[in-house]
Amino acid sequence: MQNIHYVLISILGGLVVPLQLAVINTFRHSSGASQIQSTFFLYIGGAIASLVIALWMDGTVKPPLYQNTSWWMWLSGFLGSLYILCMFVAAPHIGATNTLLWIFLGQMIFATLIDHSGLLGMQIKKIDAFKLFGLLFIFIGGLIMLFGEYRSTIK
């Protein structure tokens, strides 16, 4: 597999998400900040980290060429905040595991549609039976996890 290092980098990125969820939840409880305020402070930390990493990797930070962008390209920060907020709202009620499983399923469904359509210039990768079965297995796995938790609460 020639792209194994990208798979490993992706797994590392995935390992960070539940840790981030737990850290920000602890921050929220300790600081008394609301979920949206906690998200704001998370993004301040992320902006600082991005600056430090950019300086370390590139040696500088250049302003973007605003004239080459469209208005909707600036929605990424909003979408990231919405993503984080959804996790922070759900996790205290359904737990980190269930939250991340259903977030993952939502990501996989939409990523499959993006790949299939080539939305926003992504390489087209058509939907096939294997992808549909993979999504179905994730869904079934989520239902099994929910059933297991439901069963343990009625004892």
Distance CA 112, CA 116 (A): 6
> What is the radius of gyration, based on Cα positions, of the chain?
19
Q: What is the pLDDT of residues 68-85, one digit of tens each?
A: 888 888 888 888 888 888
State the pLDDT confidence band at 1, using cuts at 50, 70 and 90. low
**146 exposure class (CB count in 10 Å sphere: 0-12, 13-18, 19+):** middle
> Position 74: which residue type?
W
Residue 41 and residue 74 in one domain: no
Residue 9 and residue 73 in one domain: no
Residue ranges of alpha helices (H) inside 3-59 are 4-31, 35-58
Q: What is the pLDDT of residues 117-155, one digit of tens each?
A: 999 888 999 999 999 999 999 999 989 988 887 787 776
What domain range includes position 29? Answer: 1-62
Q: Which residues contact 14 (CB under 8 A, 6 or more apart)?
A: none
Of 41, 62, 83, which residue sits at a domain end?
Answer: 62
The mean pLDDT of 42-68, rounded to a whole number, is: 89
Distance CA 123, CA 113 (A): 12
Q: For residue 10, how many other CB atoms are within 10 A of its CB?
A: 11
Residue 57 and residue 111 in one domain: no
Residue 93 and residue 123 in one domain: yes
**Prediction pTM value:** 0.74
Residue 92 and residue 138 in one domain: yes
Tokens of 137: 């297995």
Residue 56 and residue 79 in one domain: no
Residue 39 and residue 112 in one domain: no
Residue 44 and residue 99 in one domain: no
- Number of folded domains in the chain? 2
Q: For residue 42, how many other CB atoms are within 10 A of its CB?
A: 19
Residue 57 and residue 89 in one domain: no
Residue 82 and residue 49 in one domain: no
